[in-house]
C-alpha cells in the first residue's frame, strides 16, 4: 500500500513537471516571436469575452464566441502555420547536451581572438560579414544548404571568405566549436518592428537566426564598418572590438564552470 502511494506521488510530480516544462518552452518561444505573442493575446481576449458573456448572460455574443472557439483553432493553424512550424522546429533543434566538445579556456580565447581580429580588419576596409556561432541548438538545417568547409578558425580564412570577389562571401559563416563548418549560409530575417529600419538584410538575418536559436551572430556592416552582435533575440549595435571580445568570452563560457567558480568562491570565504 505504501509503495503504491509513493508511485502515485512520483507520477503526480512527473506529470506536473512535464506540464511546467511544456509551459516554459512555449513561453520561451513566444517571447521571441511577435506573431505568436499576438496569437496569445487574441486567445486571452476571447477567453475573457466568454467569461463575461457567461456572467452577464449575453446570449448573442456567447453564441458568436462559441462559433469562434469551434472554428478558431483550425483557422489559427491554417493562418499561422509558418509560426507554429518555427516553434516546433526550434524545439526539435534543442539539445540537452551540446553536440560539440566544450572548448578549453585556451581554445576559447584563441577562437575569440581570431574572430575579433578578422572583424576588426573587415571593419577597417568596410567589408560586410556575417558570422554565426552555434551553441546548444543545432544549425544543421542551415549547414546542409550551405557550402561545406570544416577548417580551423583563423582570421585570415575569415577575411578571405568575405573578400568581395570570393564566391563564398554572400551569406554567412557558421562556426561549430573551433571549426568553420560552412559558408554561404542563408538565415531567416527578423520581422521585429523595433529593429532600426536603416539596418540591412545582413543585420536582420543575424537577429533572425538569434531569435529562433541560441546562437551568437556577429555582423560587420558593409556601409559603415560598424560591429554588431545578436544574441538571445536582441541586437547589440555599434560595438567596439573590445566589447565584442568581452561579450564573446562571456557568452561562450560553460555554465557549469561558472557554477563551480561560485562554489569555490563561497568555499574560500567560509575557510577565511
149-176 exposure pattern, b = at least 16 Cβ within 10 A, e = fewer: beeebebebbbebbeeeeebbebbbbbb
The reported pLDDT for the residue numbered 18 is 86
β-pairing verdict for 179-185 and 172-176: antiparallel
27 & 160 share domain: no
Residue whose entry in the numeric block shows the C-alpha cell 551540446 = 98
67 & 128 share domain: no
Residue 32 has pLDDT above 90, yes or no: no
Is 120 part of any domain?
Answer: yes
Residue 266 has pLDDT above 70, yes or no: no
Residue whose entry in the numeric block shows the C-alpha cell 546542409 = 144
Residue whose entry in the numeric block shows the C-alpha cell 483550425 = 74
252 & 157 share domain: yes
Distance from C-alpha of 166 to C-alpha of 171, rounded to nearest angstrom: 12
Is 52 part of any domain?
Answer: yes
The residue-averaged pLDDT of 249-263 equals 64
Any idea what the CATH number is for the domain that residue 237 is in? 3.40.1700.10
Is 21 part of any domain?
Answer: yes
Residue 109: give the domain boundaries: 105-256
Q: pLDDT (tens digit, 9 = 90+) per residue, 213-225? A: 999 999 999 999 9
**What's the pTM value of the predicted model, to 2 decimals?**
0.62
Residue 229 has pLDDT above 90, yes or no: yes
169 & 79 share domain: no
Q: pLDDT (tens digit, 9 = 90+) per residue, 115-153? A: 999 999 999 999 999 999 999 888 988 998 899 998 999
Q: Please indicate whether residue 117 or residue 7 has the higher confidence score (pLDDT).
A: 117
Containing H/E element for 28?
helix 2-30
Query: What total number of domains does the chain contain?
Result: 2
111 & 65 share domain: no
* Residue ending a domain, choose from 53, 68, 93: 93
Q: pLDDT (tens digit, 9 = 90+) per residue, 48-70? A: 888 888 888 888 888 888 777 77
Q: pLDDT (tens digit, 9 = 90+) per residue, 171-210? A: 999 999 999 999 999 999 988 877 767 788 999 999 999 9
Amino acid at each position: 500500500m505504501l509503495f503504491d502511494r509513493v508511485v502515485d506521488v512520483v507520477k503526480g510530480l512527473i506529470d506536473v513537471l512535464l506540464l511546467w516544462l511544456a509551459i516554459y518552452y512555449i513561453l520561451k518561444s513566444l517571447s521571441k516571436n511577435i506573431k505568436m505573442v499576438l496569437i496569445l493575446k487574441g486567445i486571452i481576449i476571447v477567453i475573457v469575452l466568454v467569461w463575461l458573456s457567461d456572467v452577464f448572460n449575453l446570449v448573442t455574443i456567447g453564441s458568436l464566441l462559441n462559433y469562434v472557439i469551434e472554428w478558431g483553432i483550425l483557422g489559427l493553424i491554417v493562418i499561422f502555420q509558418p509560426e507554429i512550424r518555427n516553434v516546433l522546429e526550434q524545439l526539435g533543434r534543442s539539445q540537452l547536451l551540446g553536440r560539440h566538445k566544450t572548448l578549453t579556456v585556451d581554445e576559447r580565447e584563441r577562437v575569440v581572438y581570431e574572430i575579433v581580429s578578422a572583424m576588426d580588419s573587415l571593419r577597417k576596409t568596410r567589408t560586410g560579414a556575417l558570422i554565426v556561432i552555434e551553441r546548444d541548438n543545432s544549425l544543421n538545417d542551415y549547414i546542409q544548404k550551405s557550402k561545406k568547409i570544416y577548417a580551423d578558425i583563423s582570421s585570415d580564412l575569415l577575411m578571405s571568405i568575405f573578400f568581395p570577389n570570393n564566391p563564398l562571401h554572400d551569406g554567412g559563416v557558421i562556426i561549430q566549436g573551433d571549426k568553420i563548418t560552412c559558408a554561404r549560409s542563408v538565415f531567416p530575417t527578423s520581422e521585429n518592428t523595433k529593429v532600426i529600419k536603416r539596418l540591412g538584410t545582413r543585420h536582420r538575418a543575424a537577429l533572425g537566426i538569434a531569435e529562433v536559436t541560441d546562437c551568437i551572430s556577429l555582423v560587420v556592416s558593409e556601409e559603415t564598418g560598424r560591429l554588431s552582435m545578436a544574441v538571445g533575440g536582441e541586437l547589440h549595435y555599434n560595438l567596439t572590438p573590445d566589447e565584442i571580445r568581452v561579450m564573446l568570452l562571456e557568452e561562450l563560457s560553460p555554465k557549469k564552470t561558472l557554477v563551480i567558480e561560485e562554489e569555490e568562491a563561497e568555499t574560500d570565504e567560509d575557510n577565511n
